[in-house]
Amino acid sequence: MRAAVLRRPGTPLTIEDVDLDDPGPGEVAVRVFAAGVCHSDLHYMNGDLQGRLPAVLGHEGAGVVERVGAGVTRVRPGDTVITLWRPRCGECEFCLTGRPALCPLGKVQATSGGLPDGTSRLALNGEKVHHLMGVSCFAEKCVVSERSVVAVDPAVPPAVAAITGCAVVTGVGAALNVMEDVAGSGVVVIGAGGVGLSAVMGLRLVGANPIVAVDTVDTKLDKALELGATHTINASTHDVAEELARISPRPMSWALDAVGAPQTLQQAFEVVGTGGTVVAVGLGKVGATVPVPINPLVQQEKRLIGSLYGSANTPVDIPKLIDLFKAGRLPLDKLLGEQYELSEINEAYAALSRGATGRAVILPGGEG
């Protein structure tokens, strides 16, 4: 099969003919119809995050199950599925206490470059090739654990299904699962990429007000208004704190940082009001830190919390998100950006680096 391979950080992805093993026990083979262009892959490409190389990248995908290994019970051939980069075992303390995004299986896959057993199903000219987060969907096909897929309605457009598996569940999930009692409260969302825009949609769904999107690209801010933001601020031309004071006499109760840079997380802490909460959802460079002023933390009882993968229970939450899309409550199709063929993947990431608007997708099988 053709797949996009990363050999060294700082080098372009190469489209190569990669060997893919048949699914083993508990595994499924998926023909990939669409894969989202996520900034997390770019972190691995430029070395901000470190993984086992060479690797086939891609973790936000959708397709159809072609074959299943022994003992698979969750899906069957012909099912349309969304891939999950944080599987849940269902047995650890995190799964049993309602925090499955923290299931250790995710760390096993991330550190080993393999599937839950730590081994790979990919090879190139006899050389072992690693998986990215147990998925590797920048390819015509992938083999994943049955815990790394969730079946969805086949009528959902593949591109919409694909982005739901990462950007949407991360952003909307943070709004629904983490930001409790947010109805009627002011929220500032820093970063209007795929995750930030998804958070805007989720916040609109639950009745936050005002919803202020912050970015440095005007087209992204226009998209935020289309998806539910009540106000926008271009941080490259305006002082964010001054603009927030103009927008609302009441300080923001919540701030969500979808960027993952020290300066944006620090800015989120500064602009949230007394008693407010900062939710960090964007990943940063390995070792990156942010200074937190102690006195405002204590005297104003501010909170700074993290949310991984929307703090979601994906087998339950993703079908709900798809149902909300089908009901017209979540306009996920409006989140989509440009579409690219697999051979154009480096152009897709160049556009992302330049500030492309919306969530772009790769179509390895030519599906739309």
Is 368's pLDDT higher than 90?
Answer: no
Q: What are phi and psi of 190, to 5 degrees?
A: -100, 115
**CA–CA gap between residue 216 and residue 56 (Å, rounded):** 31
Q: pLDDT, tens digit, for every residue of 344-354?
A: 999 999 999 99
**CA–CA gap between residue 132 and residue 134 (Å, rounded):** 5
| Mean of pLDDT values over 226-246 | 97
Helices 345-353 & 39-46, crossing angle to 10 degrees? Answer: 100
| Block residue for tokens 């998209």 | 223
pLDDT, position 117? 94
**CA–CA gap between residue 209 and residue 248 (Å, rounded):** 10
**Closest C-alpha among 13, 146, 220 to residue 233:** 220
Q: Which two tokens stand for residue 221?
A: 């801010």
Q: What are phi and psi of 93, to 5 degrees?
A: -65, -30
Is 14's pLDDT higher than 70?
Answer: yes
**CA–CA gap between residue 19 and residue 125 (Å, rounded):** 8
**CA–CA gap between residue 133 and residue 151 (Å, rounded):** 19
Is 365's pLDDT higher than 90?
Answer: no
User: Band of the pLDDT at 158, cuts 50, 70, 90?
Assistant: very high
- C-alpha 198: how far from chain center: 10
Is 58's pLDDT higher than 60?
Answer: yes
Average pLDDT of the residues of the chain: 96
Q: pLDDT, tens digit, for every residue of 72-128?
A: 999 999 999 999 999 999 999 999 999 999 999 999 999 999 999 999 999 999 999
pLDDT, position 366? 58
Q: Which two tokens stand for residue 195?
A: 């995750």
Is 48's pLDDT higher than 80?
Answer: yes
Answer whether 0.85 is exceeded by the pTM: yes
**CA–CA gap between residue 184 and residue 162 (Å, rounded):** 31
